[in-house]
Amino acid sequence: FYCQNMKLGKKSREFVDVSLSFDPHPLSKDITTLRNERAINNSIKNLILTVPTEVPFQSNIGSHVRKSLFELNDGFTYALLEEEIRRTINFSEPRVELEEVKVKGSVDDHEVRCMIKYKIVGYETVITVEQILTPTD
């Protein structure tokens, strides 16, 4: 028996996180959940903005990005931020395959823009997320 049009594939996992806003769903009144891309984007943002030792009993979770936001706004600081974001995501977010991290700053607006490209494990689509960091976050 031979079937020419049969296509075999691997079913990808779905990733679900609870929204940290704890706002109830308007219809079900249950806690809102985030799925796949939104869940991972939220996780990446939280990891970048969390200071190490801020999470009880897990002192290695988080990054030193906030501390670097008060440094000089130059290429060296951007390279340091890129490396710290890359390290944090690779160490703490196993659901992604990191593709690229770019950091640009704006002296006039007192902000740093982080562009992060990644693939969800098991998916082929490259997702781009931009995070704006300011020293007052």
- pLDDT, residue 101, reads 97
Query: Which residue numbers in the chain have pLDDT < 50?
Result: 1-2, 8
- pLDDT, residue 130, reads 93
- pLDDT, residue 103, reads 94
- pLDDT, residue 1, reads 46
**Cα dist. 111→3, 72, 115, 118 in Å?**
57, 12, 13, 23
CA distance 93 to 43: 8
CA distance 64 to 68: 7
- pLDDT, residue 27, reads 81
Contact (CB, 8 A) for 45 and 131: yes
For residue 116, the cross-strand partners are 101, 129
Helices (H), 18-122: 36-49, 65-68, 75-92
pTM confidence score: 0.78
